[in-house]
A and B are shown apart, each in its own frame.
Chain A
């Protein structure tokens, strides 16, 4: 117990905790938002149904990302995975014309 306690007070440990929190909040929301926007454009449903389905799912997606960020063995691995996911989704959204829509709005 004692050595652990000391380890927990080290600045490096605290910094890693802060890093995971920032990654969970920003990365989790970004992935959920990008996936919602992408699915809204690409799901083979009536437009309003695609939007409703994607929006309903978004909160579960964000929870999954947050859980992953805190379960991942290292902060670096978590950051790489989340960034990769966001990049893929962002690319998909760009291909689907999602950014053009936002630009026009």
Chain B
């Protein structure tokens, strides 16, 4: 929208980054937390100790529960228990359009678990791509924002082409220059990660965003496409006549005999039909690709039908992209680096949002316009509000009464409630102190999490409980980091910002 390629790219970078920045910040923060989804879930169900359970028996218990829950369901998914999650997860539905029902069962009894009712890390994981909205809405919004993020990355590289020369430069003492440097440092150092995570994120939901290849070449038959790609074995169509499902334990046992390990989950298609299909899904073998080996069974007889084929180059590329996005392959050390990169992504977005407002701050006696005030309010509401919501979600997990009806919904309600409260409070506080107060508050909330956790459950290192050391350490580190940021925000206000900074080179690129 400006003369010249670089100028128009600078304009595009500033405005495209702004309009999706708030959503992207949420996507980055909750996605980064999802690298530790299992650990978060473990912390949120402290009464469950790691135990091994019998996968075959668990499958039968789940089937019995599901047949009672909805005799005419058209599909089930059973997540078999693992030592780190000793629960049977069941999901069932009458139509693929939804609604999808779910429950967590005790592998010893097959009845709903006595562990506290919570959505655990799964809530943050789903929020990462659905934003707590109806799935279709959330996914389209996140996908649109991811595409704009790609546009912002490409235009950002063009705009700040000097960033590679300024690779290590962070002039933290200058206000606007400091924000620009911080934005560059976080953006450039983790640029391979940012490009990878954004593109692979789009690929993860490509069947939904870009179905037109399947529509034209497969006449919309998605199943056929997956079978041809080697991502799924061939299944049988429902007959329309009622029938009975053979015991799942026999099929799970056959799966264990064939692959030498228990499946991580079992899908059942048309369980009440005369020709049901059962799919045993195994964990991905060690590798970058996200490819689950699968074995299909005739659900009426329990006979093995076949397994999925090998993937060819393009399908393999897709599954490697999925694998890179999820990072399941990463061991503890590499996972820390992925986590760090995710934090840098969130920081890139946050510093970009703040920079947008700082670069347009009114000069002298000029009054602040409505647009700028809106942006600043949304910045505080998102960058401070979301972490406050997450800390409150963890605190609610420990503080809400265990026998509260719909307890998991209350936890989620606390997440949104705390977020809204902080956002509204942030809008009312003066601009000079809002960042210091807000960041300080969130830091305090995170520091409170391990304390409240220890006090309410009696589980802490002094009592010999070491399971949550990592989680507690992460909360304390977050609390301290946010506290430091709050102090920093306070100091920046004491030293009057040098107006000369606004005129430095690069300011033009920002304002363009």
Contacts and interface: CB of A to CB of B under 8 A. Distances in A.
Interface string A36-54: 1111110001111111111
Interface stretch (B6-14, B182-190, B382-390): B6-14
Nearest to A102: B215
A101 B314 contact: no
Main secondary structure of the interface of A (DSSP, over half): helix
B40 interface: no
A54 B8 contact: no
A55 interface: yes
Interface string B29-61: 000000000000000000000000000000000
Nearest to B158: A67
B202 A59 contact: yes
B315 A55 contact: no
Nearest to A69: B12
A104 interface: yes
Interface in A16-41: 16-17, 20, 32-34, 36-41
B312 interface: yes
Contact of A105 (B199, B207, B219): B219
B147 A62 contact: yes
B149 to A, nearest CB: 10
B370 to A, nearest CB: 14
A63 interface: yes
B1 A49 contact: no
A45 B312 CA distance: 11
A54 B219 contact: no
Contacts of A95: none
B212 A105 contact: no
Contact of B225 (A32, A41, A48, A101): A48
Nearest to B512: A4
Contacts, number: 119
Contact of A33 (B151, B212, B220, B317): B212
- Sort chain A's interface into a size bin: 35 or more
B342 to A, nearest CB: 20
A102 B206 contact: no
A67 B151 contact: yes
Interface in B309-341: 312-315, 317-318, 321
Interface string B210-223: 10111111111000
Contact of A54 (B199, B213, B229): B213
Interface string B10-28: 0110000000000000000
B202 A71 contact: no
Contacts of B214: 40, 51, 55
A93 B214 CA distance: 14
A48 B313 CA distance: 11
Nearest to B508: A1
A70 B216 contact: no
B5 interface: yes
B215 A37 contact: yes
B203 interface: yes
Contact of B216 (A58, A66, A67, A93): A93
Contacts of A54: 213
26 contacts: A33-B210, A34-B212, A37-B213, A37-B217, A41-B216, A48-B315, A49-B312, A50-B213, A51-B225, A52-B213, A52-B317, A55-B206, A55-B207, A56-B206, A56-B317, A58-B212, A58-B213, A59-B150, A62-B147, A63-B150, A63-B151, A67-B12, A70-B11, A93-B216, A98-B216, A102-B215
Interface of B: 1, 5, 8-9, 11-12, 147, 150-151, 154-155, 199, 202-203, 206-207, 209-210, 212-220, 225, 228-229, 312-315, 317-318, 321
Interface of A: 16-17, 20, 32-34, 36-41, 45-56, 58-60, 62-63, 66-67, 70-71, 93, 98, 101-102, 104-105
